[in-house]
Amino acid sequence: MSRIGVFVCHCGENISRTVDVERVAAQVGKMPGVAFATDYKYMCSDPGQTLLKKTIQEQKLSHVVVAACSPRMHEKTFRKAVEAAGLNPYLCEMANIREHCSWVHEDKQEATAKAIEIVGMLVERVKKNRVLPTITVPVTKRSLVIGGGIAGIQAALDIADAGHEVVLVERDPSIGGHMAQLSETFPTLDCSQCIMTPKMVDVANHPNITLYSYSEIEQVDGYIGNFQVTIRRKARSVDEDKCTGCGVCMEKCPVKKIPNKFDCNLGMRPAIYVPFPQAVPNTPVIDRDNCIKFKTGKCGLCQKVCGPGAVDYEQEDTLIVEPVGAIVVATGFDLYTIDEKPKGSMIKGYGEFGHGKIPDVIDGMTFERLASASGPTGGKILRPSDGKEPKQIVFIQCIGSRAREKGISYCSKVCCMYTAKHTMLYHHKVHDGQAYVFFMDARTPGKAYDEFWRRSIEEEEAVYIRGMVSRLYQKGNKIVVMGSDIAVGVQVEIEADMVVLATAIQPRTGADSLAQKLGISYDKYNFYSEAHAKLRPVECATAGIYLAGACQGPKDIPDTVSQASAAAAKVMTLFAKDKLEREPIVARVKEAGCVGCFACKKVCAYGAVEEKEIRDRQGNLIKVVAYVNPGVCGGCGTCQATCPSKSVELDGYTDEQIVAMIEAL
């Protein structure tokens, strides 16, 4: 006979406001099998848990039902408490009378009646709970980091420094990401390359880091502690092991005038190239779309001049499989482009700002390349149209960001600060120039951030105009900027030489398809979702996968680096144990009834179902049945729903339990 204890939580007033918790406890106390029922203000608090533990021992309870919030919230808490009191944790169930009842109802009478029924169902279910032993699975102490920007680099270095192997996968020919493109960084104005490139070199030289540049994630199988990741190494056409990085091939390449994406298409590169001189690895890649050899079959100059014979036109994509225990996703961001929007996208463009039509309307990243000492102009601020120094420059903030009508309602977080920085860089380089900034409001929380912004106005003579620009148009070699100054309530018209748009941060194109490979969730913009906005900000809801940087949402460098180190710490926490304990809510095959049709195997999303031969003592095959590998099973229950003879069941959710719950209604 069961001796079930029921503990009804008030959740402060969250539940007791709409549910008569005392009546619930009194009614449930009369149900068959219930030995004890009480209510308490905060069951999850320390005194609440102590009450639970004490009662289990005093009343010699066999099962426990906690009627409180969602099991997602506190199931772990109460199962731990039950375990501490000496019961198997899986003999404790939660009845959700908050999300499923008090929060969604107003009438106290009816809500109370419903709460009693919910608890009654769980009482019937818990009676049929089995003692489940915890499952342990081995942990592969290697980590995958996806993305070689500052986030991925930082996470990879931290994990590698802790003594674990790291596989770093970068889509582009070189690591470095957006940060390698920046000129100087706020709020200290140190040179981005000077602080970034040493870290890139550290990655290249670290004995624990395997770097796969020019590579992409093809497929992810497995689960926390035991992922198998298939990586596509795109054909570089240059053998990384042979290439010495001398650069002769790039000098001799007859195709020279290909716009370099790294320089926002302002600089030019050959068909065999490294994106920038400090690239890691310093191994060129052939851009097959522009290479004469690949287009016509002739040329082959780079192969002829290559001393070590590293150029290989025959190279093909290769797939490699890496076993890893944890994955850090650090795929970064793309910048909003105001002119090109994919068909069907919820994001709309700004026709009125002339980006892409007026050559001297550029975005913030292009300005970074102009201001960078290693950029296409050697660090001189020059207009793309005629190479002249702009004497009047207008910066416009919130392009795309915070514009619900354009499809993006979030703030991109970094633009206020980088525009302030741009005005300073401009003032440092063009002493007689004047910078204007159109802004909605300046968002500068962060250490030394507001001081930095004030400095741009007070010391560096930037003129900030609160208001939005309505229209830009070319007039001679000037760009007329029409806007309003809402502080004084007048229309403003500025004849600018150049306009810089602070475009929004957006998730990478294709972020959703990577998320689907990884099995992680993402929001409507395709930013990856953390498990909990406040308390689990670097973990994904999918166990063993962690987030770092702007792939989760707009972030500046300090935040990105912090989160990358946090993700690394989470990986190290996982790797601190040799075995991973996991919930034993897994499917089990009842072999007597199994006919081996393997419908379960066909539908299993985790690849957990195997074929098992049953033999008699003489070794004769009796039959072949399904077997669920408990280490791999995700506990989704699809097999249970599919099995025609009901011969596979999910522990904790057996048909018997579900039917008992239905019958309790």
The reply to whether 266 sits near another protein by the rule CB under 8 A is no
Q: How far is CA 483 from CA 360, 469, 474, in A?
A: 18, 4, 15
Q: Is 596 in the site for another protein (CB under 8 A)?
A: yes
Shortest approach of another protein to residue 608 CB, angstroms?
Answer: 15
* Candidates 59-67, 304-312, 412-420, 637-645; binding stretch for another protein (CB under 8 A): 637-645
Q: Which of 592, 617, 618, 665 binds another protein (CB under 8 A)?
A: 592
By CB under 8 A, residue 665 contacts another protein: no
Residue with tokens 């249970």, as numbered in its chain:
640
Least CB distance from residue 661 to another protein, whole Å?
11
> Contact 662/128 with Cβ under 8 angstroms?
no
Nearest residue (CB) to another protein, 471 versus 615: 615
Cβ nearer to another protein, comparing 315 with 638: 638
**Which of 204, 492, 660, 664 touches another protein (CB under 8 A)?**
660
| 647 binds another protein, rule: CB under 8 A | yes
Q: Which stretch binds another protein (CB under 8 A): 227-235, 471-479, 540-548, 615-623?
A: 615-623
CB of 525 to another protein, least distance (A): 20
Integer Cα distance of 619 and 283 in angstroms? 59
Stretch of 102-110, 202-210, 458-466, 642-650 lying at the interface with another protein (CB under 8 A): 642-650
Q: Give the C-alpha separation, 186 to 420, whole Å.
A: 9
Binding flag, residue 614, another protein (CB under 8 A): no
Instruction: Identify the residue among 268, 301, 624, 636 touching another protein (CB under 8 A).
Output: 624
Instruction: State yes or no: residue 656 binds another protein (CB under 8 A).
Output: yes
Nearer to another protein, 256 or 602 (CB): 602
Record the tokens describing residue 526, joined without a space.
Answer: 């395709």
DSSP assignment of 181-249 equals G-SEETTTTEEHHHHHHHHHHHHHH-TTEEEE-SEEEEEEEEETTEEEEEEEE---SB-TTT-----HH
Instruction: CB nearer to another protein: give 533 or 592.
Output: 592
Q: Which is nearer to another protein, 378 or 593 (CB)?
A: 593
**Identity of the residue, 195 or 597, whose beta carbon is nearer to another protein in the bound complex:** 597
**How many CB atoms are located within 10 Å of the residue 658 CB?**
17
The answer to whether the bond into 390 is cis (omega within 30° of 0) is no
**Chain-centre distance for alpha carbon 57:** 44
Position 655 contacts another protein (CB under 8 A): yes
Q: Based on CB atoms, which residue is closest to another protein, 1 or 592?
A: 592
DSSP label of 317:
-
- Count of alpha carbons within 13 angstroms of residue 650, beta-carbon side: 19
By CB under 8 A, is residue 295 in contact with another protein? no
Q: Which amino acid is at 594?
A: C
Q: Which is nearer to another protein, 162 or 624 (CB)?
A: 624
What would the two tokens of residue 174 be? Answer: 């070189």
Beta bridge partners of 465: 438
Q: Which of 391, 428, 536, 646 touches another protein by CB under 8 A?
A: 646
162, 543, 595, 664: which one binds another protein (CB under 8 A):
595
Binding of another protein by 510 (CB under 8 A): no
* Among 535, 616, 644, 665, interactor with another protein by CB under 8 A: 644
Gap between the Cα atoms of 528 and 566, Å rounded: 16
Judged by beta carbon, residue 157 or residue 625, the one nearer another protein is 625
Our CB check for another protein shows the closer of 410 and 598 to be 598
HEC string of 23-65 equals HHHHHHHCCCCEEEEEEECCCCCHHHHHHHHHHHHHCCCCEEE
Q: Does 463 bind another protein (CB under 8 A)?
A: no
Nearer to another protein by Cβ, of 440 and 597: the residue is 597
For another protein, give the closer residue by CB, 465 or 520: 520
Strand partners, 436: 394, 463
CA distance 206 to 220: 25
C-alpha 159/C-alpha 156 separation (Å) is 5
Six-digit token pair at 159? 């994990």
Q: Does 621 engage in binding with another protein (CB under 8 A)?
A: yes
How many helices (H) and strands (E) in the chain?
17, 34
User: Considering beta carbons, is residue 138 or 593 the nearer one to another protein?
Assistant: 593
> Is 92 within 8 Å of 66 (Cβ atoms)?
yes
Torsion (CA) 503, 507, 510, 516 in degrees, nearest 10: -170
Q: Return the number of the residue (566 or 639) whose C-beta is nearest another protein.
A: 639
The residue from 29, 598, 607, 610 that contacts another protein (CB under 8 A) is: 598
- Interaction between residue 593 and another protein (CB under 8 A): yes
What sign results for the dihedral spanned by CA atoms 291, 297, 298, 299? positive
Is the distance from CB of 640 to CB of 608 less than 8 angstroms? no
Q: Which of 256, 391, 454, 623 binds another protein (CB under 8 A)?
A: 623
Residue 586 CB, nearest approach to another protein (Å): 20
Q: Is 613 a residue that touches another protein (CB under 8 A)?
A: no
> By the 8 A CB rule, do 550 and 588 touch?
no
Give the interface size with another protein as a residue count (CB under 8 A). 23
Rounded Cα distance between 418 and 604, Å, is: 49
Q: Does residue 602 belong to the site contacting another protein (CB under 8 A)?
A: yes
Contact letters (x/-) for another protein, 550-589, by CB under 8 A? ----------------------------------------
Q: Are 24 and 66 in contact (CB under 8 A)?
A: no
Q: Least distance from C-beta 522 to another protein, angstroms?
A: 16
**What does DSSP assign to residue 157?**
H
Tell me which residues touch another protein (CB under 8 A): 592-593, 595-599, 602-603, 620-624, 642, 644-647, 655-656, 659-660
